[in-house]
Structure 1
Amino acid sequence: MAVNRPQRRPVVALYERIADAIHEGVYPPGCTLPSEPRLASELGVSRPALREALLLLQEDGLLTVRRGVGRTVNLSPPRRGHERIQPLEETLSGSTPVRVRPLLRAVEEPTDFTTGQLLAPADSELRFWESVLEAEGTAAALSQEWAAPDDVLERAHPAFAEALRSAASEAGSMLAALAGASRALPLAGHSTVTATLLGRRRGEQLDRAPQTPAVLITQVVRVEGVPVLAAKHMLPTGAPALPIVQSG
């Protein structure tokens, strides 16, 4: 029995063409890509589609934009899908189980963060989940997750779209819903980790002082090059240890 898979957007195919060229050495580490007009001409694509694909490649760590130079291939481009995709509640769970307590399940307009990470149009609507992760009754992390617009999910990952609709009122993270709906689809993730302070609002949500040091993890998960989930995770001092494994 044939299985019908969602048709990939042209920009996804273009993303993969350029990523393959990078990994195959057509554009070796450290080289500068041709200018946008020349590259679009060489690839036979429109400049808007090329610009969107280049932005995805930059977000995934394959390219860097250097002022006065242009887009260069990073010296150590990450392997595709190298980052392990695991819900934060599972990552933090060691000997102590971690529970996800929902704070908010809503639909909201894109912010600067979600516009950049999910490439969401300004007039779109995004599902937003905010949760506190608790270990032994103590708030261990604040998690904010956004899904791509429904029309994007229906094309790129309809099983995830359905999982969000059926799990909207349940405990659990959006990433857990995505992982559970993706048994047949490969996920690729990219995260950044920075040091910060909680601030007033997050401090109130985590029952900590605003000046409490914290680790902020931003995360984007893609399916075949299409960003379907973006998240911010705030872990204050005293949270369960977060294992960081560097891919070789």
Structure 2
Amino acid sequence: MAVSRPQRRPVVALYERIADAVHDGTYPPGSTLPSEPRLAAELGVSRPALREALLLLQEDGLVTVRRGVGRTVNDAPPRRGYERLRPLEELLAGGGPVRVGALLRAVEEPTDFTTQHLLAPAGSELRFWESVLTAPGAAGVLSQEWAAPEETLRAAHPAFAEALGAPGAGGGSMLAVLAGVARGVAVSGHSQVGATLLGRRRGRQLDRAPDTPAVLVTQVVLAGGTPVLAAKHMLPTGAPALPVLQSG
């Protein structure tokens, strides 16, 4: 299974070429992209690879398919890199500075969660970071982050694996580390928000009662369509407010 992952790299490079053309004005907002045959010929690529790259561009909000028109560049395409993805410690900092306290920095085998969200094959090794984020006068937030297998990180962007393995890298969140080296990489993310209770283990970690209500945020970060990070963030009652942005 690991052998197939690097095959996505040409598609990622193609994604970046088209995204660069959008952001430098070659394909300005509101314009219609050339037809698939013409665009494939202009870029010197196969139509299957182009189609996959276009799907990624559509998923990331750069282009929209309009019936009878074709693929058009969105009026306000998202900016590149991690400009729209902010580490949790930054999102929670509205009420004051947030401290990231490391509970665990380890290597784990895939679980059902990481197999589902990171497509991690059996027997692979995943970096796992567990942290408590605290702000003055607010309840603590529990954050659990998993990185994709190292070969997947290197295929998506070699600097990801190097940054996570660097001495002292565990002083902040995993997303903050990746954001620091993500220049020039097409990155997107999606999250799900639900309501739950802390439970015994998480209650002990946050020094709260097991039946404390909490918001559970599940987050997946992708580089060029490849999942590179999955996370669970547990925000109990009394935690700093988490801003949520929605786009139509």
Same fold (TM over 0.5): yes
C-alpha distance 169-193 of structure 1, shift in aligned 2 (>3 A): same
Structure 1: gaps of 5 or more residues: 1-6, 17-22, 27-42, 46-52, 63-78
User: Do 1:126 and 1:147's aligned partners in 2 also have CA atoms closer than 8 Å?
Assistant: yes
C-alpha distance 8-119 of structure 1, shift in aligned 2 (>3 A): same
**CA distance in structure 1 between the aligned counterparts of 2:151 and 2:6, rounded to whole angstroms:** 13
Structure 2: gaps of 5 or more residues: 16-31, 36-46, 62-76
Q: TM-score, normalised by structure 2?
A: 0.69
Give the partner amino acid of 1:105. R
| Counterpart mapping for 1:1-248 below 5 A | 9-10=7-8, 13=11, 84-136=84-136, 139-167=139-167, 170-248=170-248
By how many angstroms is 1:168 displaced? 5.4
**CA distance in structure 2 between the aligned counterparts of 1:143 and 1:231, rounded to whole angstroms:** 7
SS at match of 2:245: coil
SS at match of 1:9: helix
Higher helix share: 2
Q: Which residue of the partner structure matches residue 25 of structure 2?
A: none
User: Do 1:200 and 1:210's aligned partners in 2 also have CA atoms closer than 8 Å?
Assistant: yes
By how many angstroms is 1:219 displaced? 0.5
SS at match of 1:195: strand
1:100-126 deviation digits (Å, cap 9, x = unpaired): 000000000000000010000011010
**CA distance in structure 2 between the aligned counterparts of 1:240 and 1:44, rounded to whole angstroms:** 46
Give the partner amino acid of 2:195. A
User: Do 1:105 and 1:169's aligned partners in 2 also have CA atoms closer than 8 Å?
Assistant: no
By how many angstroms is 1:199 displaced? 0.6
How many residues in Structure 1 have an aligned counterpart in Structure 2? 202
Give the partner amino acid of 1:247. S
**CA distance in structure 2 between the aligned counterparts of 1:170 and 1:13, rounded to whole angstroms:** 31
C-alpha distance 112-61 of structure 1, shift in aligned 2 (>3 A): farther
Instruction: Report % sequence identity.
Output: 63
**CA distance in structure 2 between the aligned counterparts of 1:246 and 1:218, rounded to whole angstroms:** 16
1:35-93 deviation digits (Å, cap 9, x = unpaired): xxxxxxxx879xxxxxxx8xx98xx699xxxxxxxxxxxxxxxx878992100000000
By how many angstroms is 1:242 displaced? 0.8
C-alpha distance 130-245 of structure 1, shift in aligned 2 (>3 A): same
SS at match of 1:194: strand
**CA distance in structure 1 between the aligned counterparts of 2:122 and 2:107, rounded to whole angstroms:** 14
1:108-156 deviation digits (Å, cap 9, x = unpaired): 0000000010000011010000000011275421000000001111111
**CA distance in structure 1 between the aligned counterparts of 2:186 and 2:216, rounded to whole angstroms:** 26
Q: TM-score, normalised by structure 1?
A: 0.69
**CA distance in structure 1 between the aligned counterparts of 2:177 and 2:129, rounded to whole angstroms:** 12
C-alpha distance 168-144 of structure 1, shift in aligned 2 (>3 A): farther
By how many angstroms is 1:186 displaced? 2.3
Give the partner amino acid of 2:229. L
Give the partner amino acid of 2:218. T
User: Do 2:199 and 2:211's aligned partners in 1 also have CA atoms closer than 8 Å?
Assistant: yes
